[in-house]
Chains A and B, each alone.
Chain A
Amino acid sequence: MDLAFTKEEQAFREEVRTFFHENIPADIHAKMIDQHSLEKQDLVTWQRILNAKGWAVPHWPVEYGGTGWDPIKLYIFWEEMQQTPAPQPLQFGVHMVGPVIATFGNEAQKQRFLPRIANLDDWWCQGFSEPGAGSDLASLRTKAVRDGDHYVVNGQKTWTTLAQHADWIFCLVRTNPDVKKQVGISFLLIDMKTPGIEVRPIQTIDGGKEVNEVFFTDVRVPVENLVGEENRGWDYAKFLLGNERSGIARIGISKQRIRRIKELAGQEFYGSAPMIENQRFREKLAAVEVELKALEMTQLRVVAAEAKRGDKGKPDPASSILKIKGSELQQATTELLMEVVGPYALPFQPGLVEGSNEPPIGMDWAATAAPTYFNWRKVSIYGGSNEIQKNIIAKAILGL
């Protein structure tokens, strides 16, 4: 048992940290620190900086642009990116559809899509959830009917994050309605410019419009855009969701936010002393730090076991712990930050969240605290709600 990072791993951490800090454009870094939402171009800019360095898709197979790092180095890489804080790559491409195509796609699909994902030439969004298919995802009803060398897609997807910018959407569609629901689903790649697709924004409680409804009316999709085999889409979806879960704790984000809370709580006063000297406040903060440290150790246990096993395909069911606790702690940090802001949490400035140039009301770091708190309620809902994760633990680990 040796819980220290090796000298080489420490040097690697230093290397990526230095690169992130030296190469992140100042305006993007400032937006990240103050939790302002990013423009499409910000993500594109950052992704291309990473790609030029060869670090756009480090976890992919080497032949498609991966770096060959082991799970521990990958963990360090993402954690440092979160702590910078730098933008996370658009996950729908880099973490979701990219690995699915690399693993289950045909050669033509790999050649066509993977380099464009790595460079963020194509903006991808995710077409999984539907109005009637949330936690019970397999009950989805959007259907794709074969017509010659096309599928004709009809139905509706929802909670489609950043679909307003998207060039492509990957969808789970029903290709066989007559069998058990999990075995009649296929995984389709759909060009968002295809006639018959309509995107309508949904405003969320923070005031932002990052999610959308996407409607499909007689949308013709070439059969060459089917990933893998017809009716095997559920397997690919499970692979995708498993990948999503293992990186979902986002410990670096919570750490960075705790540092920010400490900094700001050193400036704001509670009576005659800075908030950080208030015993009740700092004990609440310390309690979150304890849980976060424990989660970091749990995450490292999962990562080290993965490094030892050498297979990345199968998610550890213990990663459900990472999802549950990671999301709870991210939420706890947004709550503490809002507490630091105090009365200036009140002004509602949705324009600011979307990046308008209007001067903010109050301290310039205060305006995003409440919206971030409200927005972050999503993290215990998406990616398989925390209740679904408990079902997974009960079933897959405890055998109940």
Chain B
Amino acid sequence: MDFDLNEEQRLIKDSVERLLADRYGFEQRKAHGASERGWSADMWAQYADLGLLAMPFSADDGGMDQGPVGTMIVMEAFGRALALEPYLATVVLGGGFLRNGANAAQKADLIPQIVDGSLTLAFAQTERHSRYDLADVTTTARKDGGSYVLDGAKSVVVHGDSADKLIVTARVAGDRRDRSGIGVFLVDGNAAGVSRRGYPTQDGQRAAEVLLEGVRVEADWVIGEPENGLPLIEQVTDEAIAALCAEAVGTMSVMHETTVDYLKTRKQFGVPIGDFQVLQHRAADMFLMLEQARSMSMLATMMADEQDVAERRRSIAGAKVQIGRSGRFVGQQAVQLHGGVGMTMELAVGHYFKRVTMIDTAFGDADYHLSRLADAGGLIAA
């Protein structure tokens, strides 16, 4: 039982935090976000130099073999900086499909490109009607000789407008919500029949609506078993949820620190407002919710690659519930305690609030996961 980072992990944490502290101030972030792709290619190259893009891959695949803890470290730091680059989309989700589902040839081709920063990916899963149900897929993949032909529409594909390649879920067999018959396909972003409508998101990132019309994918670019891709999709999204939990903890930490600082400096009625007990208790409540979220982020990290699938899914669902609830409370109170200025785009705190709010909607919100967890019998065995 050890909650501390080892020496190597501490070094990674220090270096990523230093890079972001030097190069990712609030104004710099604003400039990156306003660029066409919505993030900084220059920062992406620096992440590659630092080895961050190699973090979860095995040494055999040219990676740093840092596992879920490595991802946690990077994502928490990204949360603290509100970094906009497609790390989750490319390294965690895209990399997750390659690590967990790709064959040797696919790995050998693509992982080096992720690691050196030349390839970005986006996960095209959600559809207009599917909400958070990973099995609710109507996009079809029709077998045609040695290839597949994809037709359908994917919604809110985060970083889908700038990604070099899309990882698309599509149905090769079965009805709309069947658990079997869903495959995972790697589609070039500029392939014939792909059209993408990019737009900014509430949290300062970018996403796209993606239309697939007769898109041809060679059989070489199917990841895993096309008849039975759902367990792979669930594994990868669980890893992504663990990563998002860590990012949320980073954003909550900053909101809490900023708010406590504000309580110490803002004066009203002739005293710092932090002298008022009602605000002290609110800050204490925020602290409690933050630490409970941090605990569950650690649990999610440890369970992300758990072999017992049912156990993994329950723990990840529980973590997402806590993160959603903590994030909402800490975010709302951070804005509330800053008062009017907390409402402005000019101040960072509102941007953290927006990010943590949107994390709740990624891969299932707190209520969705609470239902799932309750259906699965909860976290404490009867």
Contacts and interface: CB of A to CB of B under 8 A. Distances in A.
A279 B375 CA distance: 8
A363 interface: no
Interface in A297-347: 297-298, 300-301, 303-305, 307-308, 318, 321, 324-325
Interface string A155-187: 000000000000000000000000000000000
Given A291-B322, A393-B288, A304 B2 contact: yes
A300 B295 CA distance: 9
Nearest to A256: B380
Interface string B295-308: 11011011000000
B299 to A, nearest CB: 5
Given A283-B374, A293-B296, A297-B299, A400 B274 contact: yes
> Is chain B's binding surface mostly helix, strand, loop or mixed?
helix
Interface in A235-292: 255, 258-259, 262-263, 266, 279, 282-283, 285-287, 289-292
Chain B interface size band reads 35 or more
A399 B370 contact: no
Nearest to A296: B295
Contact of B318 (A289, A303, A324, A387): A289
Contacts of A400: 260, 263-264, 274-275, 279-280, 283
B274 A4 contact: no
Contacts of A5: 1
Which of B2, B6, B280, B288 has the most C-beta atoms of chain A within 10 angstroms of its own C-beta? B288
A308 B1 CA distance: 10
A290 B373 contact: yes
B378 interface: yes
Interface string B271-289: 0001101011101110110
Given A279-B371, A394-B284, A291 B1 contact: no
Contacts of A30: none
A298 B370 contact: no
A52 interface: no
Contacts of B283: 394, 398, 400
A397 interface: yes
A282 B378 CA distance: 8
Contact of A262 (B277, B373, B382): B382
Contacts of B371: 279, 283
Contacts of B291: 298, 318, 321
B281 A1 contact: no
B287 A297 contact: no
B9 interface: yes
Contact of A324 (B288, B374, B378): B288
B1 A72 contact: yes
Contacts of B322: 290-291, 294
Contacts of A324: 288
A394 B280 CA distance: 6
B191 to A, nearest CB: 41
A304 B1 CA distance: 7
B378 A321 contact: no
Contacts of B277: 391, 394
Contact of B370 (A9, A266, A287): A287
A108 interface: no
B3 interface: yes
Contact of A304 (B3, B263, B280): B3
A41 interface: no
Nearest to A72: B1
Contact of A286 (B6, B260, B275, B378): B378
A291 B281 CA distance: 20
B382 A259 contact: yes
Interface string B366-382: 00001101110011111
B288 A1 contact: no
Interface string A372-400: 00000000000000010111011101111
B299 A398 contact: no
A358 interface: no
A259 B380 contact: yes
A390 B285 CA distance: 8
B69 interface: yes
Nearest to A308: B4
A72 B2 CA distance: 10
Nearest to A1: B69
A282 B374 contact: yes
B280 A391 contact: yes
A295 interface: yes
Nearest to A395: B280
A6 B281 CA distance: 38
B195 interface: no
B367 to A, nearest CB: 8
A279 B372 CA distance: 11
A294 B4 contact: no
B59 interface: no
B1 A399 contact: no
A369 B120 CA distance: 58
A286 B1 contact: no
A3 interface: yes
A292 B375 CA distance: 18
Interface in B1-31: 1-6, 9
Nearest to B72: A1
Contacts of A318: 291
Nearest to A295: B292
A325 B380 contact: no
Contacts of A321: 287-288, 291-292
B3 A301 contact: yes
A290 B321 contact: yes
A2 interface: yes
B9 to A, nearest CB: 7
Contact of A394 (B281, B301, B378, B382): B281
Contact of A298 (B6, B292, B321, B375): B292
Contacts of A282: 374-375, 378
Nearest to A318: B291
A264 to B, nearest CB: 11
Which of B287, B295, B373 has the most C-beta atoms of chain A within 10 angstroms of its own C-beta? B295
Given A297-B299, A398-B287, A400-B274, A286 B374 contact: yes
Contacts of A397: 287
B2 A399 contact: no
B374 A293 contact: no
Given A72-B1, A258-B378, A393-B287, 7 more contacts: A3-B302, A263-B382, A285-B378, A294-B299, A297-B295, A297-B298, A398-B284
Interface of B: 1-6, 9, 69, 260, 263-264, 274-275, 277, 279-281, 283-285, 287-288, 291-293, 295-296, 298-299, 301-302, 315, 318, 321-322, 370-371, 373-375, 378-382
12 contacts: A1-B2, A3-B3, A262-B378, A286-B321, A290-B318, A293-B296, A301-B3, A307-B1, A321-B288, A321-B292, A325-B288, A390-B280
Can you list the 7 inter-chain pairs with the closest CB atoms, starting with the nearest?
A297-B295, A394-B280, A286-B374, A393-B284, A390-B284, A262-B382, A294-B292
